[in-house]
Chain A
């Protein structure tokens, strides 16, 4: 098991390296006029050249990448070219906001999607039809559109929730939960509809397996078959669905934070993208890839625990 984890971690580091190199090269394309953008039209050619030297833009690509990589390995992700704020600091204040939302939404999705999906698979009938229709509606309306609709109706027109959620946890748990409700709901609706649908298919697939019939023939009760055998076998498929949703949500949360004016990754990423602020964009990408690697590793470990075949090999 330890070797398995070490192997996965190793390949995760390779992915991290490859993605960082590719991103850095891509962003290099845009860095030609960056010094001019920072200083504005009034700056003289000499000032621009000095700025480029200051940012290291006069160095060749390889030198720049490896100096960035060397710094990054020591935890120094550089500073924003525009605000000069260290990237690590910006991330440190913003990641908690984004992660709180993502993980709250994910936990709720896992619970709701599993309950609804299993109910649809076992009971069929109207529950099943509601899930199917829900999945189509969820697939049809992008998450951020749902967010916009929720704010407009529930916050702006009905006044049930605050439209913007800049309240910090310090201002009391109740106010905080209240202000976080809408963004989290906007984030999780697609996940619940899609997840329930896919968990339903996974459970139905297991229910049709031969061993389920044999367990029935042995006199094992339906409930025990469902909860002990079927759900366990369907769990890896469910986990994969959820992990893919979590990865997708890392992007989704950027838009949701923008809609609700939350001080998370959204505003940082959007501003940095608009200005081609390379150190900040690199920081955002690296943070994302690290989260993805950790999530995938956790899913692999859980799957190994659920499936003895994986554990052995």
Chain B
């Protein structure tokens, strides 16, 4: 039986940011109503609610609805089949099964509520305090939590039973204490994640007491995860309580589903249907709670879940996909247009979209065309969300699984990697190019190295796999590469794990990795954004030096015109998924034609870092 405290805690959803709008405390009611609406759009959500409401209704009205008292025994009529008096028959003592089922529901639901209530009363305040003030309290409570979490629930309840005798309430209070860490951890994590948010600081500065900050801001964040958690915990409580009663350690004067199951099991040879009803009642109740929890979670995880359809041949709105006649089979890829073979990479009318739940496709890249030649650096500039990274990943064939190429083509060195009309990148074609001829320098150095392997391993393996050279040769080359990218002690870095080097060093390692197999094209996605300003200049110098020495083509994705001016030959400006302007760096810096380019330039020349959304950028709906 895995229905222990720990499983429930492990199954707890990540408390971080239930909904984006929850962060604004005031919009809480709006959020709640949309969540409820989404919940009732989900058939499973409706089913779960109906089941639970029906069981609660029967439980509340048990004294009225039950034809007999739970312990009323008719010795003359034991193990009877259903008839008009005992609609579900009687058990071995002649007690009415239907009545006992109803009273059992009452006790089961009440005990589950008690358990969840106790767990909340202990776990929630403790989690709030530990998360908000941290310090000693947190250290001590973490220790207590680790003990509570490592005790098997049933064994603890057996001990409680041995100490206090058969009491449903005592055992559920004890189980509530035992399971309270799941609320504690949920709350603490949620509080820690919002504690240092600006709006909480703002509230503190504006003189609100800690208590009202907690009440207004933090509680709105943890509310939803707690509801989900309560559904899970109620289910676990019912299971363990029934288990205890099944063992015969419950209160013998009370009708419960666990006792009924045990009674049915004792008479399994005589009347196995006695087993059926309590088992169904339990499965329905716990199942209803599990489904309700899942449905609430789904409703919170904004309704934009993509429904996977078998054939996503959605005719996309806006620019039409290439006509069907242009579709090529995988085997014979069309030849590229004559006169364009000499471009190292050429992107034509590229469109990238993401299918939405409502069947439409949200375009993030629309009608983008450009090319890069050998020995040339093209800068792609734009603010966050302009589609520049998506464009870069299309060339690499590393878009997320749910992305669709809705239009256009990409050719590399005279061959299509994405022929006109193809919806997805053909991995068979691109996997031959990736690493060997096209390589990639990522934005965030630390997260792009596998923490479990040494830097040396991560440099050597691609060379062994791609170039087919020996490990010794690859090691020698890796050490030379590390020297080339300006690492003073290559042997030490080679043997180090990623967490043992600095961010600047890690970025140099990633650059070394990108050029290790002597590619023709390097795609650098904001290669300096995550680095200190002084390190930025070094890394840019390094990139330029390597590019000139190896005569490679580079696509440099950035939001920073300073980097462009420093490094690039040509520049393409993107906004809202479209290419707004393209030309030589000199032309565009001196004489920008588009208003948007001028705004980008102005924001840079004033010495601000244009990290945030530009005020004047009008969000035009893309197609």
Contact = CB atoms under 8 A, between A and B. Distances in A.
Interface string A207-244: 00111011111111100100001001100000011001
A281 B239 CA distance: 22
A244 B435 contact: no
B75 to A, nearest CB: 26
B614 to A, nearest CB: 26
B1 A217 contact: no
Contact of B431 (A142, A219, A277): A219
A145 interface: yes
B520 interface: no
Interface stretch (B261-269, B342-350, B539-547): B261-269
9 contacts: A29-B163, A229-B452, A232-B452, A248-B153, A249-B2, A250-B152, A256-B1, A269-B155, A312-B497
Contact of B272 (A143, A157, A278): A157
Given A251-B4, A256-B1, A217 B160 contact: no
Nearest to B510: A214
A219 B1 contact: no
Interface in B552-596: none
Given A240-B10, A241-B10, A190 B3 contact: yes
A149 B248 CA distance: 18
A1 interface: no
A285 B243 contact: no
B435 A233 contact: no
Contacts of B235: 139-140
B151 A141 contact: no
Contacts of B1: 142-144, 187, 190, 248-249, 251-252, 255-256
Chain B interface mostly: helix
Contact of A292 (B2, B151, B282, B286): B151
A244 B439 CA distance: 42
A297 B491 CA distance: 34
Interface in B464-522: 465-466, 497, 499-500, 510, 513, 517
Interface of A: 15, 18-19, 23, 26-27, 29-30, 124-125, 136-145, 148-149, 151-152, 156-157, 187, 190-191, 194-195, 198, 209-211, 213-221, 224, 229, 232-233, 240-241, 244-245, 247-252, 254-256, 258-259, 269-270, 272-274, 276-278, 281, 284-285, 288-289, 292-293, 296, 306-309, 312
A13 to B, nearest CB: 13
B152 A270 contact: no
B16 interface: no
Contacts of B134: none
Interface in B433-458: 434-436, 438-440, 442, 444, 447-453
A30 B7 contact: no
Interface stretch (B98-106, B210-218, B287-295): B287-295
Interface string B18-37: 00000000000000000000
Contacts of A209: 447
A78 B212 CA distance: 55
A137 B44 CA distance: 13
In this complex, the member of A141, A259, A273 whose beta carbon has the largest number of chain B beta carbons within 10 angstroms is A273
Nearest to B144: A18
Contact of B249 (A18, A194, A270): A270
B10 A19 contact: no
Contact of B283 (A141, A240, A256, A296): A141
B464 to A, nearest CB: 10
Given A211-B448, A244-B10, 15 more contacts: A15-B147, A140-B286, A142-B240, A144-B243, A191-B2, A221-B465, A233-B452, A247-B6, A252-B154, A284-B155, A289-B150, A293-B150, A307-B451, A308-B451, A308-B452
Contacts of A241: 10
Contacts of A308: 451-452, 497, 499
B38 interface: no
In this complex, the member of B163, B275, B447, B497 whose beta carbon has the largest number of chain A beta carbons within 10 angstroms is B163
Given A194-B2, A233-B452, A255-B247, A220 B152 contact: no
B158 A220 contact: no
Interface in B409-435: 431, 434-435
A224 B282 CA distance: 45
Chain A interface mostly: helix
Contacts of A240: 10
Contacts of A210: 442, 444, 447-448
Contacts of B510: 214
A296 B151 CA distance: 12
A301 to B, nearest CB: 16
Contact of A211 (B2, B152, B249, B449): B449
Contact of B435 (A151, A220, A255): A220
Contact of B247 (A156, A232, A247, A270): A270
Contacts of A293: 150
B164 A30 contact: yes
B603 interface: no
A244 B155 contact: no
B10 A309 contact: no
Nearest to A132: B294
A142 B497 contact: no
A156 B94 CA distance: 24
B396 A229 contact: no
B450 A248 contact: no
A138 B4 CA distance: 13
Given A145-B283, A254-B247, A217 B396 contact: yes
B242 A142 contact: yes
A254 B287 CA distance: 24
Contact of B450 (A29, A233, A244): A233
A234 to B, nearest CB: 11
A218 B435 contact: yes
Contacts of B160: 26
